[in-house]
Structure 1
């Protein structure tokens, strides 16, 4: 196995843009090997949470919502931005689950964490398992959300990913974390 590459020293950093949900920063770094300087752009945004919400009868709580990037309605895990400094990822996932679906659960715990695109982003995605979920009442959508809730048998998830019914890459990674966690 070859040695781990060294870190690149940061020489300067400046904000290149602010786009409400993320900022872009230009960073000048140098290669520790060649000493040449290079400019990189880093997208900075809050970390995200995905709630893998299971009902007592092993249904998974999913949401349908329109996604502007692909101009389609997608089937996804409830989740969103972990943007409150005083909130843990587990608390954020439980909050997002309740706001988007009206479901609440019993035990909730973090089962995984990954970086969505470390080449250009600094944030993380937290996978939170929420068990024994039941409907509790009204949703509380953000002003840009128009969401419907759907229940599916947990056993159907691998086929739903394979068939293209679930296509959101961050959700697929979160579901992989769950399937690995469950199987260990």
Structure 2
């Protein structure tokens, strides 16, 4: 029995039985599902890995050319690079294969970088990269399966070497 003096409120969504909070929770879960499916798509993961490598642009082209150019987009194996002038764009075009080889070497994935295009436009802000004397370490959640396996293998190898080497005891 309804005990209110006023009109009974209708459910604005028209869906019976769901309160406003219930609908909000449903939408949040649905958005989470969509996001999870998007993140699992191979091209999204490839773009994320490529972005991490492209943050090291100066390692590939050198500091001088990196000051005149900056990658601003990655799409299906193609890197789009903003360049500050047409002469610099031409210089980079002449070094296209060398640049692609450098990107492939750093990434360890030859198929990650297929093509590169240079265009004269405003340079995006530079990425924040660790100082050269610091090792470039990816956080664990951004590692590929191969990278995780390589790290685990290196740890096991060090542990095995530590167990097989003498531990400083006085035995002959």
TM-score band w.r.t. shorter chain = under 0.3
Which one has a larger percent helix, Structure 1 or Structure 2? 2
Higher relative contact order at CA 8 Å, sep ≥6: structure 1 or structure 2?
1
Which one has a larger percent strand, Structure 1 or Structure 2? 1
TM-score (norm 1): 0.26
| Greater Rg over alpha carbons, structure | 2
TM-score (norm 2): 0.28
